[in-house]
Amino acid sequence: MPGGGAGLALLAALVLGAVVRVVVPWPAVVSEQGILPPGGADEFYHLRRIEYSVENFPAVLSRDAYVNAPNGGEIVWPPLWDLGIAALALPFGAAGDRERLEAVVAGVPPLIGLATIVLVFAMARRQFGDRAAATCALLLAVLPAHQLSSRIAKSDHHVGAVLATSWLLFVGMRWLDGPVGRRRLRVAIELGLAMATVLLIWTGALLHVGITLVVASVTVLAAGDRSVAIARGRELALACGVAALAIAPFSLGVVWLEYGGFSPLVLSSFQPVLFAAGAAVLGSSAELWARTPLGGRRGQRIGSALGLGAVGLGATVLAAPELGQALLVGAGWFQEAEDFQSHVLELRSMWTAGGVFDVNVPRLLFTQAIALVLPVAFWLGLRAVRAGEGSGVWLLIAWSIAFFAASSNQIRFSNELAVPVALLAGAFVERAYQPRLAAAALAFAATGTSLMVYAEPSGDVLRAMRNEAPRKLGLDERIATLVPLARWLGENSPESPGWLAAEAGPGYAVLTPWGQGHLVRYYARRAMVQDNFGVYGGRASYEAAERYYGESDETRAIELLETLGVRYVLAAPGGSGHGRAYEPLTMARRTALHRGFQSRDTGSDGRTIEVAALSRHRLIHEAAWKPGIDEAGLDPLTRAAAAYRWFEIVAGARIEGSAEPGSTVTARIALESPRGEALRYEVRARSNGSGRYRLTVPYPTGDRSTAIQSGDRYRLIGSGGGGEVAVSEAAVRRGESIPGPDLRRLTEPTPAIR
């Protein structure tokens, strides 16, 4: 394909890429509620962090009082992604203007995605040729695995990580292919900067760095010529030294409460020490080869380098004993050693994401091109052995196999696999015996999958053009439901002073299921006990949340909430979101399913259980999920609970009075839901031997201050009669006593004797 044709193909890829990243998702993302990240979770905390940096530039939230309440939490993400977007947003007047900030942030992922297409086009063109570059750009433009991470408003750091790691791959391939000389030294410096940059965006990119260093080190050791081995060893040592210097200001000496000072999971001394050790071993090896007979033969060079490496590793472990344990913890990142990880969809294998083995998920993510990964990687390896490809192809082969394996272990690596899939497809077309036939077959396969993936969301675009309501495919309906509910809490609860001031505390906390924490915090501007960070936000709080939702005694549940400083609780069908089943009397079921009202439920043994009303949980708002895939396959009882409900924790007013000794006293009040549904709160108590009763109630009478409105009087009923009583808001909040009606039987007076 001539150069002009490749350029036109790149232009077509950019147009196509913009359409599927901006136009197709637009109706699902941009609505009357504002810009909602599609399937958003971490995006909401990125928005929180970016907003903070915009208002306090160049400060970055590294410890947040609104995470892991009441203690505050350390933020495990590196700073570069959020700080970079904040710097971009400042010239657009985003300071003090949340809507403008959200618009700027929403536009970043598609731009990053398109920049990745350009970079990978250049990589494929350099390594394989124009036809490969055109194929690669067009395929990457439509690959769902890449589109999903670079859609409008999908402002997670992983889209930035893909661009940065693609740069690392490109630089690594250029370094491997380049001749010895000054130009190669410049590439080595660029390689060092790339390794540091990817880790400043995502510490998980240590896997990419490790692959690069292993392949580069092997090429140093495998060099047949002594001078080439020495030069390459010095260059790679330079790259590691540059990386150590670049990352040290952000990580050297940093000690984490959860992870210590040498963890690969966060920015710590681990990264600069790793690079410095690599520079020392490689540099020492190169000098040893240059100044002693040990550099004469390849076997001697390999043996001496391995010896120095063993000494260097031993010295490093002796200097930092915690390093060994940190490496074991880091390995658990891939093995789902944490119970928390087993509940996260993106941590499942792409082959078993739905719970059973299924080839459709990889096919929908990568089109049928997924079948090319291992065969083409093997084929390119054979060509490289036969000197038909440059040395840089070995890095691509290692990259492809590693991320195929990583995605087979955890689906979150699918966006990392998208780039090598596109590059291998390009190589396949360029090197095929019948390139036009290969290109046609690949185009047919990719087009068929793309139509399946994008046809339905594209229908939303047509509906929007006809002024019809979009189906919002691609947006989790729970987000659309919960966003206004979270905003409502922010507008109808006491102000939390420390949102944009790190030195100010939040005042109180909110407890939500872990999967909704980031969203609620951003829109309500309130501190969360647990959130999408899971145990990585704070193990104690994560476990305390589960204890609350699983608690059956309201008094103990309230005591736990008080230790956490919780004032509001979000009830949802899944309780804490930790994946367990709840018994009928637990707070999870009593709030989400029964609204805190008197009811009946069925236990795991099939018995009917009486569920008493909650007396210190006040229902203040609720919203049912919109009908859709979220409710598919659920039993009727669970479907009825498919709602989010806000409860305020109150002291509860105490209605006290007299009744027949040992009799049951019932207090009732009419309530009305936000949808106009008639509800009734009813609480019961038994009078003591002296005939005194006490009922604790969480609702004031005649209340119009919340979305749940209450009647003007409580109706009290006893065996001896009935009566009414009014309860003030102050009494509910302060736990005051209210005189209740006398419910004793009335008796006729004894006639006087004359």
pLDDT of residue 261: 86
pLDDT bucket at 332, cuts 50 / 70 / 90:
low
Interatomic CA distance for residues 370 and 19, integer angstroms = 23
**Model confidence at 752: pLDDT above 70:** no
pLDDT of residue 2: 52
**Model confidence at 721: pLDDT above 90:** no
pLDDT of residue 30: 85
pLDDT of residue 753: 44
Mean pLDDT for the chain overall: 86
551: nearest Cα among 573, 576, 520: 576
457: nearest Cα among 114, 154, 20, 155: 20
pLDDT of residue 633: 47
**Model confidence at 313: pLDDT above 60:** yes
pLDDT bucket at 472, cuts 50 / 70 / 90:
low
pLDDT bucket at 732, cuts 50 / 70 / 90:
very high
Interatomic CA distance for residues 344 and 365, integer angstroms = 18
Interatomic CA distance for residues 166 and 422, integer angstroms = 12
φ/ψ of residue 74, rounded to 5: -85, 135
666, containing H or E segment: strand 664-672
Q: Which residue has the higher pLDDT, 188 or 306?
A: 188
Residue with token string 């930092």: 320
What is the tens place of the pLDDT at every residue in 380-392? 888 888 877 778 8
**Residue 712 · residue 672 · CB < 8 Å:** no
**% of the chain exceeding 70 in pLDDT:** 89
**% of the chain exceeding 90 in pLDDT:** 52
75: nearest Cα among 518, 510, 515: 518
Would you state the structure tokens that stand for residue 183, as one six-digit string? 């130009």
**Model confidence at 336: pLDDT above 80:** no
Task: Determine the 3-state secondary structure of 400 from DSSP.
Answer: helix
The one-letter amino acid at 19: V
Query: Which class in CATH covers the domain with range 653-739?
Result: mainly beta
Q: Mean pLDDT across the stretch 61-67?
A: 92
Domains in the chain: boundaries: 97-321+346-453, 477-645, 653-739
pLDDT of residue 1: 55
Among 170-174, 357-361, 414-418, the least confident range = 357-361
pLDDT bucket at 559, cuts 50 / 70 / 90:
very high
Name, in order, each residue with C-beta under 8 angstroms of 677's C-beta and a sequence gap of 6 or more: none
Q: Omega of the bond prior to 751 within 30 degrees of 0, cis?
A: no
Q: Which residue has the higher pLDDT, 211 or 331?
A: 211
509-511, strands of its sheet edge to edge: 527-528, 509-511, 566-571, 643-649, 617-624
What is the tens place of the pLDDT at every residue in 488-524? 999 999 998 888 886 677 889 999 998 899 999 999 9
Would you state the structure tokens that stand for residue 404, as one six-digit string? 């195929």
**Model confidence at 748: pLDDT above 50:** no
Architecture of the CATH domain 477-645: 3-Layer(aba) Sandwich (3.40)
378, containing H or E segment: helix 373-385
Q: Mean pLDDT across the stretch 282-288?
A: 87
pLDDT of residue 502: 66
**Model confidence at 473: pLDDT above 70:** no
pLDDT of residue 629: 37
What is the tens place of the pLDDT at every residue in 396-427? 999 999 999 988 888 888 889 999 999 999 98
541-572 exposure pattern, b = at least 16 Cβ within 10 A, e = fewer: bbebbbebbbbeebeebbebbeebbbbbbbbb
**Model confidence at 605: pLDDT above 80:** no
**Model confidence at 395: pLDDT above 60:** yes
Interatomic CA distance for residues 224 and 242, integer angstroms = 27
Interatomic CA distance for residues 592 and 749, integer angstroms = 51
What is the tens place of the pLDDT at every residue in 100-159? 999 999 999 999 999 999 999 999 999 999 999 999 999 999 999 999 899 999 999 999
**Model confidence at 553: pLDDT above 90:** yes
Q: Which residue has the higher pLDDT, 658 or 350?
A: 658
What is the tens place of the pLDDT at every residue in 15-44? 999 999 999 888 888 877 788 888 768 999
Interatomic CA distance for residues 340 and 647, integer angstroms = 26
Name, in order, each residue with C-beta under 8 angstroms of 519's C-beta and a sequence gap of 6 or more: 40, 41, 44, 479, 482, 483, 486
Name, in order, each residue with C-beta under 8 angstroms of 187's C-beta and a sequence gap of 6 or more: 171, 174, 175, 178
Q: Which residue has the higher pLDDT, 729 or 607?
A: 729
pLDDT of residue 628: 45
pLDDT of residue 77: 93
49: nearest Cα among 567, 533, 423, 628: 533
pLDDT of residue 339: 52
134: nearest Cα among 442, 375, 393: 442
Interatomic CA distance for residues 438 and 444, integer angstroms = 10
* CA angle at 172 for the pair 171 and 176, rounded to the nearest 5°: 115
pLDDT of residue 450: 76
**Residue 22 · residue 153 · CB < 8 Å:** no
Interatomic CA distance for residues 410 and 350, integer angstroms = 7
Interatomic CA distance for residues 541 and 519, integer angstroms = 18
pLDDT bucket at 235, cuts 50 / 70 / 90:
very high
pLDDT of residue 40: 67
Task: Determine the 3-state secondary structure of 274 from DSSP.
Answer: helix
pLDDT bucket at 474, cuts 50 / 70 / 90:
low
564: nearest Cα among 532, 595, 527: 527
Would you state the structure tokens that stand for residue 121, as one six-digit string? 């086009």
Interatomic CA distance for residues 118 and 163, integer angstroms = 10
pLDDT of residue 34: 84
**Model confidence at 735: pLDDT above 60:** yes
**Model confidence at 632: pLDDT above 60:** no
- Burial of 205 by CB count in 10 Å (0-12 exposed, 13-18 middle, 19+ buried)? buried
Interatomic CA distance for residues 536 and 528, integer angstroms = 14
**Residue 57 · residue 181 · CB < 8 Å:** no
**Residue 477 · residue 626 · CB < 8 Å:** yes
Max CA distance (Å), the chain: 136
**Model confidence at 265: pLDDT above 70:** yes
